[in-house]
Every structure is written in structure tokens, then in C-alpha cells.
Structure 1
């Protein structure tokens, strides 16, 4: 066995172990260089698919390890949006319903994330929903739980692990960048909404390591979701056709997480032929390592249907 010319000490080993998360994060970020060209055409991933319940899809996340889509919507028969009761649906990549869960009192489901782990999938969502002045509910903390088909969770369920990576944050949601294993949370910062980025492992360990924290620019429109890839976060805004008639006012805005600067903003007419057509949620799909920026759309006047489109051109 070859002998190292440099002595290995306990202190040196501890330094290497301590540096490992930062080195891993740096390698992940370098593997996710570039940003999406927002003016590139969109391609359909799923088209007009029914979810487990019949309400509007609020957001979604893609499990790239197992080939599944998870969507979240208000639960049928909740009575009031302020109750914060949600339905989580598991779909195939073709849009077939594979299972569901109910999340009682969690919030509005503005954005969610998914973390594959072995043969299981763990969802990251808002929880501990608080009614707001608009008659809706918004989460005051984040949580992680394993997807278990048919299970109903409450905010006091032992299956939940709760997190507050930004101390005192309110109106908080999250997503996961699968290219860097970072948790991205959007929260109310007192005078504006902000995006804070943490290494996922550090949040789970109870010692959040913040990578970025930037303000969301004002004047973007009605917020509908977000996704992160590398050093950029993409913000989805807009309204349904009954508020903004065709071609609608759906926009995607790219923000640089390193500087907070807006680097691109473009209108989206993906799924323009849909009836009602409301933008709802974003996610990142990885196909053989190549990324896709996905956006969701709700449609139909009765039982709502869900569609997802993607862009894949990087610059």
C-alpha cells in the first residue's frame, strides 16, 4: 500500500469532513451552469390531466429519480380556502393518477418540492397555515414528510418534521433545486418577499447554511410559483383568462440569486388554447442529466384539469 508523504492527523480529517458539504455544493453548482432562454418555445409534458380532487392545481414538483410528478391543490369540500386543507396527487410522467394524500391545515400550496430518497419520496411543503386578509391560508413553517398513499396528515402528525430555516419568517413556501440539492424558500421579509437558498443537507441537520438571500422585485404581477436551477430562480406570475383575456398575462422572470438582479423576463403563451388557463407552479425536470424548466397550467370551467409545459434551451 502506498504511503502518503503528508501525515494524516485527526485535526486534518475533521477539517476535510467539515469542508465536504461546501465542496459538494460547489461541484453541484458548477454542474448547473447557465440559465434557461425564456423566449424559447415550450413543449407539452402532460396535457389536460385530471388530479385526484377536482380543484385548481396550485403547484407541482418532479421526482426525477423515480419518474413521478406530485401536484397539490385545495381539498374538495374544504368549505373555505382559509382552512388550508390540501390534496396531494402522485402522477406518472404521462399524467396518470398513482395515489394521493390529504394535508389538513397546511396552507395554500403555492409551491412544493420533492426529495427522492432510496425507493421513497419525501415532500417539502408549507405547514401550520395561518388565515390571511384575502380569506386564504399561508404556511408559517416548512415541513418534510414521506409520501404514503391514502394517508391524511394534520399539522400535529408525527410523520412531519418541521423547519424554520429563516427565523421568524411568515408566508413561507419552498422548492428544491435537484441540480444542486439546495432548498429554496420564499418568505415574507417584512417589507417584501424574499428568496433564501440553503444546502438541503444543512436544513435537515438543523443547522441551515445559507447560500443566498435576495429580494423579489415588485411589480411582477400575481405570484404563481417558482423553480431554481443553479444560480438562478425563475418566477411565474399571471392570471386566468377570466381576469386577463387571451393571450393572457403569464410571465416568467429570471433572477440571479448571486446579485438579486432581474436578467430576463418573457411572456409565456404555452397552452394558449386552454379554456380558463391559469398559471400554477413551476419545477425542474432532469432527463438524462439535461434540465427542463417546467410550468403548470390549470384549465376547464368545471372539474379542473392540469397541464405542464417545459423549456429546455440553455444560454
Structure 2
């Protein structure tokens, strides 16, 4: 869950380099939205497809986000590690098969909240993009980082190369667009949340000097928690929704998908979804894109479900492009 207004904010080379901390030369705040080559977009009201339901992650806490390494057909889900404190920034990342079964895990110590993570395939290696350098006042990352997936290992924030793409920004989260070779970075400024788009190749080398596109995130639904975002082509997708406890109730559904046209500078589609409405608890959590062609492209959105101490992960998707 990412509701900064309610919480009041609570006040490099790309590979893992043990004991090394890198910081890029941060770019100045962009003043206008720049154009990207136009692409198709996912239709928000298209048919809902269920991917898997009620699957446990490595830990029993709520899934916060997930990401696909499309070239290697891998799926990763992130959650806050239990028992380490709400704002510790300690995360668990679970690798799953496409039926939702656990294949491995990593621990990240002092990273953040994982409202969004990214995955990038390079040969047979998966590199994960996450926030890092947690601000313990709010549990959010002050920088971003990239590191290779290594099953069963623990990373600390001090052990990864990290970057702060916007000098006066905070609350950073990344999203990887593998098909179009771009990295999105969402961050907070005093006037609200913003998103920059960079070349993925440049970003992995620690170069954030060229901003391909930049915009202030538009207002979504008042009183509803922001739960994830994804970048794909010339569009950004947002995901929001509040949890409801106990027995299912269709009237409690607040989960909504949004589509933002970067080139037009406006929201162009939205849909309030009843996907998974029968789930107990049902909290919107996480959004990601899979696919390397229009024929294989899917926009996934997730829900946490289950009771406290036994939360489960659920994934659904849209695959209609217009």
C-alpha cells in the first residue's frame, strides 16, 4: 500500500558490487512532458483473465508488488519482511512459477516498501530493480538500485550500487519496460508524485542525464490507496484500491485501473474492476507488464488476500491492446 497523503509522507554500473555505493549525477527537475514514439495501449475494460489465486509467498505478509523477466519467463513478488518493524525497509522477494509456486527467495535489508519493482533479463540472468536506502521515518527508499537475482541470499542497502536520479526527489520506485528498453522512475516532490522515463541501457550504466519523458502524476481517486504502476510503450498504468476485511462484499470494491497517455499528458482510460471480488480481505497490490510483442503482451494486476498471518497472492491480467 502507498498512501502518502494519508501517512503525510511520515515525514552507477548496474551489477551488484559488494560493499560499493555509487551515486549518479542527478538530473535537474524536467519542466515539460517529452514525446515517446506512440504505441498501442491496454484496454482497461477488457476481459479479465485469472492467472493464479490464493498462493503463499515465502513470508506470510501482504504482497506489495511483482515483476516479470519476460525473456527468461520468470516472476518475482516482493513483500515487507515480518518482524523487522514497519519502517525498517526489510523486504522478501519470492521467485514463483506461473502457477504461483515458490521457486526461491532473497532477503533485502534496509531497502524500502516495494510499492513497485522491476525485472530485467540479461542473457540467463535476471536483474531486479528496486528502491533502496530506506528512510526509516516513512519506510520508503531514497534511491534506486539494480542487482542480480541470487537465490537464498541476503543483500544490505550498503552492498549495492545505488542512484538518485532526481536530486531533490524522494520516495523512489522503479518500473522496467523490457520491450521498449526503458526505465520509469516514480518519485515525490513537494507538489506531488512525478514520473521520469529513461533509457534502460543508460540507466543500468548509471547515466540519468537524458530524460525521455517526464510528468506529474495526475490525481486519481480521493481516499483510495495507490497500489502500483507500470510503464509500457507511450503509456503508464496506475492501480489503486483499499482492502476490506472479513467476508466478501461486492459493494466494498474500490479497485480501479487507470491508463495515462504520456504524449497527450492526460488520463485516457479507467475501469473499476470486480476481479477477485470473492476474495477475503482483497487488497489491490502490484502491477506489471509481461510480453515482447503485441500478441504476447499482458497487463497484470495483483491482490493480496487471506487472513493476517496467512496472506496470499493473486494475479489477474488484461491482454487486449487498442
What is the DSSP-based 3-state SS (H/G/I as helix, E as strand, rest coil) of the residue aligned with 1:290?
coil
Q: Name the counterpart of 2:145.
A: 143
Asked if 1:206 is matched to 2:212, the reply is no
Q: Name the counterpart of 1:246.
A: 250
Asked if 1:312 is matched to 2:319, the reply is yes
- The two structures, once aligned, show a CA RMSD in angstroms of 1.7
Pairwise CA distance, 1:287 = 6.7
Pairwise CA distance, 1:219 = 4.0
Q: 1:253 to 1:137 in 2, by over 3 A?
A: same
Aligned to 1:237, which of 235, 240, 248? 240
Q: How far, CA to CA, are the matches of 1:206 and 1:137 in structure 2?
A: 24
Q: Which has the higher contact order (CA 8 A, sep 6+)?
A: 2
Q: Name the counterpart of 1:281.
A: 286
Pairwise CA distance, 1:245 = 5.2
Q: Name the counterpart of 1:265.
A: 270
Pairwise CA distance, 1:264 = 1.1
**TM-score, structure 1 as length reference:** 0.85
The answer to whether the 8 A contact 1:256-1:262 is kept is yes
The answer to whether the 8 A contact 2:74-2:97 is kept is yes
Pairwise CA distance, 1:167 = 2.2
- 1:136-183 per-residue CA deviation (whole Å, 9 max, x = no partner) reads 4000000001110111111111xx221222223101101101221110
Structure 1, unpaired ranges of 5+: 1-28
Q: Name the counterpart of 1:17.
A: none
Asked if 1:186 is matched to 2:189, the reply is no
Asked if 1:124 is matched to 2:126, the reply is no
Asked if 1:113 is matched to 2:118, the reply is yes
Asked if 1:68 is matched to 2:74, the reply is yes
What is the DSSP-based 3-state SS (H/G/I as helix, E as strand, rest coil) of the residue aligned with 2:307?
coil
Q: Name the counterpart of 1:50.
A: 56
The answer to whether the 8 A contact 2:249-2:278 is kept is no
Q: How far, CA to CA, are the matches of 2:292 and 2:244 in structure 1?
A: 32
Q: How far, CA to CA, are the matches of 1:41 and 1:298 in structure 2?
A: 21
Q: Say how many residue pairs are matched.
A: 280
Q: Name the counterpart of 2:260.
A: 255
What is the DSSP-based 3-state SS (H/G/I as helix, E as strand, rest coil) of the residue aligned with 1:87?
strand
Asked if 1:169 is matched to 2:169, the reply is yes
Pairwise CA distance, 1:290 = 2.1
**TM-score, structure 2 as length reference:** 0.83
Structure 2, unpaired ranges of 5+: 1-35
